[in-house]
Structure 1
Amino acid sequence: MAKSSSGNFFEDFRLGQEIVHAVPRTITTGDTALYSALYGMRFPVQSSDAFAQSVGLERAPIDDLLLFHVIFGKTVPDISLNAVANLGYADCRMIRSAYPGDSFTARSKVIGLRENANGKTGIVYVRSTGFNQHGEEVLSYVRWVMVAKRDLAAPAPETFVPELPERVAPEALALPEGLAFSAYDRAVAGSPYFFDDYEVGERIDHIDGMTIEEAEHQIATRLYQNTAKGHFDERLQRESRFGRRIVYGGHVISLARSLSFNGLANAGFVAAINGGRHVNPAAGGNTIYCWSSVLEKYEQRADVGALRLRTIATKDLPCADFPQTGGPNESSILLDLDYWVLMPRATR
């Protein structure tokens, strides 16, 4: 009897199916240092225990996206090992702060299925939830992924596409326990701009670019224990429609988040991801640029505001040369991400 697993194919999923994912994972200070080395992350709350303590936290928390990637990686062997493409995200909520030394597990529930017209693939919708060592939810998100069929003759399941919210309601955003921005040092943080300095409709060109190195994107994907074949197996990918290894989409998300520091340095917490699409694949050697638009503002408290942002990441095309989405440059778009960030307000 074979003891190795080839992963789930589309016909293996059932509506309502619940999956417990292996393997528990402790995130250490070494992991956070490696994450910073891979992306050049500079947000001060995640960079310095002393700064984090100055805003009411016990110490520097794990970066929100590092936690997201680790939980995502847990789900890959069961959900997307045989994926053709990871298509999008919705209703992602950062529920509870996490710190180095915490351990995490993940579970998923299949909430939608739709076979594609070609009969070779189908779309699987799952809600995945991450838990800490105390059994407390730390984050929850929906994603949908195109998965290959093992047996093209397998009957199609009944189609069910879940209704998903356009955005996470700002009043439902969770604030880190103890957070108090009243003593936030904007000079040390690296930017004078607070929540009240941003306007709905404003667009911020983050200017800088960062080239994806083959070794770095593979190290990053291994860091998250993401086993998807498309990111590692060069021989297999030469026979695919891409012709080479493709970059894990979350790597592009973290690159864009890091680049956004130039213009959004005080947006230290990702509170939720409302929706996101990996529009085109990236590969080693591509240079990533991005810009952000302010979609919405919400006053959480006297010292905390939430900005809803739309960040567009492109490959090999600086954003100053890319005035809008659509048109002849559409193939240069890698990521279209809609999310909430928390930012200090000027207290009076």
Structure 2
Amino acid sequence: MITWIIISIFTLITGMIIIINIKNRNSRIKKEQKEDIMKFLYKKSKENQKVNFESLQLFSKIKTNKLTKILEEMLKERKIKYDEDNIKLTLDGEKEAKEIIQKHRRIEKYLFEETSIDVEEIHDVAEKQEHNEEIKINTKNTYECIDPHGDIITGQETSSYPLLKIIKDIKNIEQIYKITHIEDEPKEIYKKIVCLDLSPFDYIKIKNISSNSITLLTDKGKIIELDYITAGNIFVNKEENEEITKMFEEIEKNITKITTLNELKLKEKGKIIALSFYIRGEERRRLMELGFIKGSLIEPIYNNMLGKDPRVYKIKNTMIALREEQARKIYVMKVNS
């Protein structure tokens, strides 16, 4: 009898725990769905696009009955409102959406600066972590207010325009622009942009426009041909700074001398003109401490006898071994010995 009672109590407690866990899980999933909906509505409002039930369902992939209930709850919570067929955020909803987006950008910034996660995977990781209330990140480094895609984490967002739209109205082929944002979705296109070493804060000069591509000169001395689909993920602002104009004049005058560090021959000197944006975190800090800054002279002095990696370079009377993958992200201008 006692054994039966103990088994019954144990079964009851176990069942209650399972029910509580299921409820907590469902509650967490619903919270994440609401937050994703608010982010989507905020983004569409900034793009001046209307959102109806069908477009929201297409984005969220939530079944009709479930989505209806979620929207009813959000109406009661005063997070959303209806303007005829248009679903919009209230002021409270917009405030919460901004907080979620800021947290997402802080996580991206942290992952970019402090981890070795592949750049194209950062968005997906941040997307999962932004809903976790236990995660609180406050970055305290250079460009603290900017995430890896060029977005402002806090404060007033600035306007920028897709490169694809710019070239349709362009009158001056030689115009200089500053990249202000790179869209990280779809991932395949973002990965292509990263491989081309285009990044936020880069300056670019349009050299040619054809029926299916754009030719750019970057501030690192690279000539890049972009297809129109890829160009649609790059946002820019016109740049009319005299110093930047002079910098491009210098680059074009010495274009044949500009290369990446891995391409220098043994004992061939180069002057550093830029480090790739994608040299990140601790690696970037270490290189800069060793003197890898604009204007520093560097030369390869030893090759690995067993292969190409690593290679030894001399900079500011210091010798350092770098892999080809690292040296390929350091831009130099060849100088006469």
Instruction: Using structure 1 for the length normalisation, give the TM-score.
Output: 0.21
Of Structure 1 and Structure 2, the greater strand share is in 1
Of Structure 1 and Structure 2, the greater helix share is in 2
Instruction: Using structure 2 for the length normalisation, give the TM-score.
Output: 0.21
